[in-house]
Structure 1
Amino acid sequence: MDMRPRSHPTYLAFVVHRVSGLLLALFLPLHFWALGTAISGEARLDGFLRWAENPLAKAAETILVILLAAHLAGGLRVLALEFLGWRSRQKDMVAASAGIALLVGLVFLLNVV
């Protein structure tokens, strides 16, 4: 049994995947609240959309997209691990997952601003 130290990149990828999933789950009630404003009237939705234009909300949206991308890339890494078995290139897969997540967040940020 291969016991990797907690400083190993694959352990850090595991932690990022779990934490991003948890944070996304905590975001869901806020998302449902925002959707609720859309069905409760045009005035409430317009007020919410005006609030969403502030820089703090834009930063939170960017972080959310990075979390989504990190969780997706980490999940794909786990699927590759499940179906392909342990490879010596796990560190490369971790780096690729992190790079993809940050790239998606940057592209989103550039399109938002």
Structure 2
Amino acid sequence: MRGRSHPTYIAFILHRVSGLLLALFLPLHFWALGQAIQGEAALDGFLRWADNPLVKFAEWGLVVLLALHLAGGLRVMALEFLGWRARQKDMVAISAGVAFAAGVLFLLNVG
């Protein structure tokens, strides 16, 4: 159990969970794209719904998930190809910082 509180294990879990949540989002994404194919009225209705504050918050969460998954994937690739085994905690901190920064930048740009 001691290893489960290690930053690299937490990064491992966050990378897997963010990937799973992004995969679960895909059907909704394809449905939204389908609204554009169905015509202007269907797309306008979807865009009005997407203007809801709860949906805007969910968009922020999606951006954070994407950034977290990307940063975690880059961390894994660095471990595999660069062999930075001694600096794993640094890579976890950098990947978390990149994901947090992406979320903050998105929030600042949404307004």
What is the TM-score normalised by the length of structure 1?
0.94
Q: 1:67 aligns with which of 65, 68, 81?
A: 65
Q: Could you list the runs of 5+ residues in structure 2 that have no partner in the other structure?
A: none
Match of 1:23 in 2: 21
Instruction: Quote the Cα distance in structure 2 between the aligned partners of 1:102 and 1:16.
Output: 13
Deviating above 2 A after TM superposition, structure 1's stretches of 4 or more consecutive aligned residues are none
Shift of 1:87: 2.3
State the one-letter code of the partner of 1:45: L
Instruction: Quote the Cα distance in structure 1 between the aligned partners of 2:108 and 2:48.
Output: 20
Q: Report SS of the residue matched to 1:5.
A: helix
Equivalent residues, number: 110
What is the TM-score normalised by the length of structure 2?
0.96
Instruction: Quote the Cα distance in structure 2 between the aligned partners of 1:109 and 1:103.
Output: 10
- CA RMSD, 1 decimal: 1.0
Shift of 1:65: 0.3
Match of 1:32 in 2: 30
Q: Report SS of the residue matched to 1:111.
A: helix
Instruction: Quote the Cα distance in structure 2 between the aligned partners of 1:52 and 1:86.
Output: 42
Q: Report SS of the residue matched to 1:88.
A: helix
Instruction: Quote the Cα distance in structure 1 between the aligned partners of 2:83 and 2:4.
Output: 20
Identity %: 78
Shift of 1:44: 0.7
Instruction: Quote the Cα distance in structure 2 between the aligned partners of 1:110 and 1:58.
Output: 12
Relative to total residues, which structure has the larger helix share, 1 or 2?
2
